[in-house]
């Protein structure tokens, strides 16, 4: 890539990421993003940091998630680089995204958000609390509208419980909207009986889900759970 092409790509990416109309931004980003991601790692990371000098961090990551919601592997290394050391900041920045049902518009978007949350877990300190604005009510309601994904369920359910255990449960503005997710963890989903045992809900996640169902029931005695175990 020549110097002029390099500078043009930075301008194009910066302008697209700044676009107030997110739909238009996604459309205009398609070509430049593929060109950007095809660069070698060092050059790609350097350009990303230059773009981030002019574009909000949460916007940069959010548009990458939406643009590549079918292909996490394409962006995971780049996101790991730009997010390192800013994990808590990103959780706060993602709050509006995960609380917007129009943004969480399909199962692929739910799954790539969980890919990101799982990756963040690797670098978060053992003792931390999610930002108060990190409300998973809408996200978990939308996520539970889809059939559990056999390839991802074990990892994703463990990740969700991890965040609930680190303050996300107390940050819920509509706690009962996560009931379906918790019941998937405790009672299973009918197709799970055909899954290999090690793809089903882990014992620790099942136990924590039971705990959170009990907390929901303490708030609403009329909604006491019928907790069962998947055999």
- pLDDT of amino acid 194: 84
Q: What is the dihedral of CA 25, 27, 28, 34, to 10 degrees?
A: 110
Task: Kindly state whether residue 12 falls inside one of the protein's structural domains.
Answer: no
* Position 10 in a domain: no
pLDDT at 225: 44
Q: How far is CA 221 from the centre of its chain?
A: 31
How would you write the pLDDT of the chain (231 residues) with one tens digit per residue? 677 777 888 888 888 777 655 555 566 667 788 888 888 899 999 999 999 998 888 888 888 888 888 889 989 999 999 998 899 889 988 888 888 777 777 888 889 999 999 999 988 888 899 999 999 999 999 999 988 888 899 999 999 999 999 999 999 999 999 999 999 999 888 788 888 888 899 999 999 999 999 999 887 644 444 434 433
Q: What is the pLDDT of residue 164?
A: 97
Tell me, what's the pLDDT at 148? Answer: 87
Number of domains in the chain: 1
**103 domain residue, yes or no:** yes
Residue 141 belongs to some domain of the structure: yes
Domain encompassing residue 98 = 86-223
Which pLDDT value is given to residue 190? 77
**Domain membership flag for residue 80:** no
Residue 2 lies in a domain: no
On whether the CB atoms of residues 191 and 147 are closer than 8 A, the answer is yes
Q: What is the pLDDT of residue 55?
A: 87
Residue 165 lies inside a defined structural domain of this protein: yes
- Residue 19 forms part of a structural domain: no
Q: What is the pTM of this model?
A: 0.85
Residue 223 confidence (pLDDT): 45
Q: Which tokens go with 95?
A: 């709050």
In our burial notation (b when 16+ CB lie closer than 10 A, e otherwise), range 59-74 reads bbbbbbbbbbbeebee
pLDDT at 28: 62
Other CB atoms within 10 Å distance of the CB of residue 182: 29
């Amino acid at each position: 890539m020549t110097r002029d092409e390099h500078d043009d790509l930075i301008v194009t990416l910066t302008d697209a990421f700044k676009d107030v109309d997110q739909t238009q931004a996604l459309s205009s980003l398609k070509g430049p993003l593929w060109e950007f991601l095809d660069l070698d790692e060092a050059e790609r990371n350097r350009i990303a940091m230059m773009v981030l000098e002019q574009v909000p961090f949460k916007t940069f990551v959010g548009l990458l998630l939406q643009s590549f919601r079918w292909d996490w592997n394409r962006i995971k290394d780049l996101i790991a680089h730009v997010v390192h050391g800013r994990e808590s900041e990103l959780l706060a920045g993602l709050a509006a995204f995960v609380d917007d049902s129009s943004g969480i518009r399909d199962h692929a978007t739910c799954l790539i958000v969980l890919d990101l949350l799982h990756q963040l877990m690797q670098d978060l300190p053992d003792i931390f609390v999610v930002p108060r604005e990190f409300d998973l009510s809408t996200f978990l309601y939308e996520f539970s509208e889809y059939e559990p994904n056999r390839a991802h369920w074990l990892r994703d359910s463990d990740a969700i419980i991890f965040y609930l255990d680190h303050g996300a449960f107390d940050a819920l503005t509509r706690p009962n909207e996560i009931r379906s997710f918790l019941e998937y963890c405790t009672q299973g989903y009918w197709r799970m009986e055909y899954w290999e045992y090690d793809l089903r809900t882990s014992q620790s996640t099942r136990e924590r889900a039971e705990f959170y169902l009990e907390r929901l029931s303490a708030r609403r005695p009329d909604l006491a759970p019928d907790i069962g175990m998947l055999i």
